[in-house]
Every structure is written in C-alpha cells, then in structure tokens.
Chains A and B, each alone.
Chain A
Amino acid sequence: MSALRQQLDAGGATIWRLVDGMRWRAWEGEAVAYNDRTGDTHHFADFAAWIFARLCASSASAEDLERDAAESVELASGASIADTVERTLALLRRLEMIEPAA
C-alpha cells in the first residue's frame, strides 16, 4: 500500500462519499461543482471528472473506483489506474469534497 493510500485510507477499504451541500453539473465528460462548505467552485476534466461523477452516483471505495474505471475509462498510456484514483481521491479530500461514509 502506498503512503498516499495509507494516508487516505488508513483503516482499509474506506467508502468515500461526497460531502453534503455539493452542487454540480456535468457536460460532455467534464464537471463543475460548487462546495457549499468552502464556497469554492471547481472544474474537473478527464479522469477526475469521471471519478467525481462516479461518486455523485454512489459512494465508493478506492478499490470500487479502480475496478469500475478499468471497465470504462482509458487512461493515457503508462498511467496507473490505482495511482490516478489515489491522487484524485487525495485531491477531492483536500478540497473538502469527499468524506468517509459513516
């Protein structure tokens, strides 16, 4: 388990969900979201948009996201799905957009 994964997911297969008060729209594979907690607006493209939309649909663990992504997303050659999921979850956590589901 990478240091980033441990930091994100210290207890194992944490289920992540969007925080309350998130408003969002998606167009043509990109998303824009307003976080009521911080007052910030964020634009997600590419894989980040996919993960964000996936979490909008339902809560998921990193493993869930990796599995689903492997079935439906093509990453740039050489990129690791697991690493990209980790980095994106870390970003969403830092932006206070996701939290562990109770």
Chain B
Amino acid sequence: MTDQTVFLRLGPFTAALTTPFADVVAQLKLLYPPQFFPKSADFADFHVALLPGKGLRRVFRPQARFLIDGHAHFKPLPRSQALPLVEWGLNYAIAGLAHQYLIVHAAAIEKNGRVAILPGAPGAGKSTLTAGLIYRGWRLLSDELALIRRSDGQIVPLARPVNLKNESIALMQRFAPSAVFSAPAHDTAKGTVALMRAPEDSLVKVGQAAPSGWIIFPQWRKGEPARLTPFSKPAGLVELGHNAMNYSLHEAQGFELLADIFAGSGCYRFTYGDLNEAASAMNALAAA
C-alpha cells in the first residue's frame, strides 16, 4: 500500500488527506464532485491522515486510525468503518479548529434565500429530515455543523454527504431513488451508517452563504402528523447555545450572534412521522 495525498474542499476549508486506502478515496470521489478534489492547494486548513492500525492488528483485525496534524484524537475503528471515520474525523477537526465561525451542531438547509437551522439531539431525526428535504427542493448547507459567520451572522455552506443511520438508509433509498449512497458500514457506534451524496445544486452553490430564516428543533415520532409549533426564542437560544461547539469561546459575541439570528428568524418545534408530510409542512413554511 502506498500513501497518497488528496485535497478535499469542504465548504470554505481545504483538507489534505493522506492515506494508503485507495478504496476510501474511491468512495470519497463517489460522494464529492470532481471539482471538490483540486490537484494541488496552496494551503490546507486541515492536515489529516487515515492510516492502518499498528502491530499485529494490521493482519488479524485490520483497523483504521485517523490523525489530525499527526495526532490521534480518538481510538482506531475497524477497517470496514474507515469511510465514516474520515467524515467524523473531519467534523472533529472543523469543530475543534475553525473558531473563526460560531459552529452549531445542527443541519442547515436553504429555500427561497433563507436558511432553516435544525439542531437535534441524536435520534431526533435531524439527518433523516435533512436528507428528505434536500430531495424536495431545499439546498443543503450542512448536515452536521452549521457554520455561522461572525462578521454578518450568515450561514456558510459546508455541503458534504449526509450521514444516515440504520432504518433511515433504506427509507432514503426509497424516498430519493436517484441519490448516491456509499456502501454501508456495519456495527459502528451508531449502528449501520451510510453516507448520501448531496444533490448537485447544493454542491454547485457551496460558495453561497445565506441568512437564517428559521430555527427549528425537529423530533421524529412514529405515526405523528407533521406539526410546527412556535417555540420561545429565549428558550431556543439557550438550547441552540448548548448545541454550539464553541459558543463559550466566542463569549459575548457568540451571544450577540445568536441573539441577532433569533431576532430575525422564526423559532419552532417540529414533530413529524412521515417525510412527505414533513416536506409539505416545511415547504409551506418557506413559502409563507
């Protein structure tokens, strides 16, 4: 195995990924368009590596290690989970290093020039909802990390594959038959995981930031109709702050950024049980 280094554009960032795993690079090239892989880069924000495990594990229980600037920040995973490890590792690098943005653990999608920020605890159905909506007219800015620009509060796109888990994978394969998926990785800490490529429109417009229009806290509930319920902005701000990766680092400016976003946005709780109904409700909101 020979190491190769590929450059990968991640929204406003460039990552330099060094790895001997050609199959992982091939999967990444399935999930990102060719223009996201520049042949060279004057500068890389993140220097990361995906390497085999050490010692006898290389033979008996192959593993993959993810390094940022030469340092391992988490334990190796089975080799079969190398692709999601890259995506999770890049999220970790962005969340830990890109403090020029206020970074919120939330999806961000845009329609009619305004962004819906969708924070969600694990299991809330955030990624499934996001995946569904970007195949019903919304543009993907981010599935996991909403980047809030400090200078003007706009949301900066970080259009990357959507991370789907377990039942959501088959659901989205039915919901969006034209979508491109990675091979599933089984038995991860999150169950079975597959990555879904972002729609072409989202990838083409990766340079176009947009202002927030709505902050929506989604919650999937089996069998429930789609329902948007107005939610207290002060309570929403505190909750969104808890979902931010670096809110405390930005101190008063972080509060002012979020406060300005809430001042100009609607704030809702959103329960849904069916993706088509959810898309109708969200499209009606965007059209209002």
Q: What total count of A-B pairs have CB within 8 Å?
A: 51
Q: How large is the interface on A (under 10, 10 to 19, 20 to 34, 35 or more residues)?
A: 10 to 19
Q: Which of B233, B234, B252, B263 has the largest number of chain A CB atoms within 10 A? A: B234
* Chain B residues positioned under 8 Å from A32 (CB to CB): 233-235, 237-238, 259
Per the bound structure, the CA–CA distance linking A36 and B254 in Å amounts to 11
**What residue of chain A has the Cβ atom nearest to residue B260's Cβ?**
A25
Stretch at the interface among A10-18, A37-45, A63-71: A37-45
Q: Are B251 and A28 in contact (CB under 8 A)?
A: no
Q: Are A21 and B233 in contact (CB under 8 A)?
A: no
**What residue of chain A has the Cβ atom nearest to residue B237's Cβ?**
A32
Q: Are B259 and A25 in contact (CB under 8 A)?
A: yes
B262 proximal to A (CB < 8 A): yes
6 shortest interchain CB distances as A-B pairs: A32-B234, A34-B255, A27-B233, A30-B234, A43-B234, A43-B238
Q: Are B259 and A45 in contact (CB under 8 A)?
A: no
Q: How large is the interface on B (under 10, 10 to 19, 20 to 34, 35 or more residues)?
A: 10 to 19
Per the bound structure, the CA–CA distance linking A32 and B263 in Å amounts to 12
CB distance from A3 to the nearest CB of B (A): 31
Per the bound structure, the CA–CA distance linking A41 and B237 in Å amounts to 9
Q: Which of B237, B252, B256, B263 contacts A21 (CB 8 A)?
A: B252
Whether A36 contacts B259 in the complex (CB less than 8 A), given A27-B232, A30-B232, A41-B241, comes out as no
Whether A39 contacts B248 in the complex (CB less than 8 A), given A25-B262, A32-B259, A34-B255, comes out as yes
Per the bound structure, the CA–CA distance linking A32 and B255 in Å amounts to 10
Segment 17-31 of B: residues with Cβ below 8 Å from A: none
* Chain B residues positioned under 8 Å from A27 (CB to CB): 232-234, 262-263
CB distance from A47 to the nearest CB of B (A): 15
A31 proximal to B (CB < 8 A): yes
CB distance from B241 to the nearest CB of A (A): 5
Q: Are A28 and B232 in contact (CB under 8 A)?
A: yes
Supplied contacts A25-B263, A43-B238, 5 more A-B pairs, CB within 8 Å: A23-B252, A27-B234, A27-B263, A30-B235, A32-B234
Per the bound structure, the CA–CA distance linking A18 and B50 in Å amounts to 52
Per the bound structure, the CA–CA distance linking A31 and B232 in Å amounts to 10
Per the bound structure, the CA–CA distance linking A45 and B263 in Å amounts to 17
Q: Are A39 and B237 in contact (CB under 8 A)?
A: no
Segment 212-259 of B: residues with Cβ below 8 Å from A: 232-235, 237-238, 241, 248, 251-252, 255-256, 259
Per the bound structure, the CA–CA distance linking A26 and B262 in Å amounts to 11
**What residue of chain A has the Cβ atom nearest to residue B239's Cβ?**
A43
Q: Which of A21, A31, A39 contacts B234 (CB 8 A)?
A: A31
* Chain B residues positioned under 8 Å from A49 (CB to CB): 234
Q: Are A36 and B232 in contact (CB under 8 A)?
A: no
Per the bound structure, the CA–CA distance linking A23 and B262 in Å amounts to 14
Per the bound structure, the CA–CA distance linking A63 and B244 in Å amounts to 40
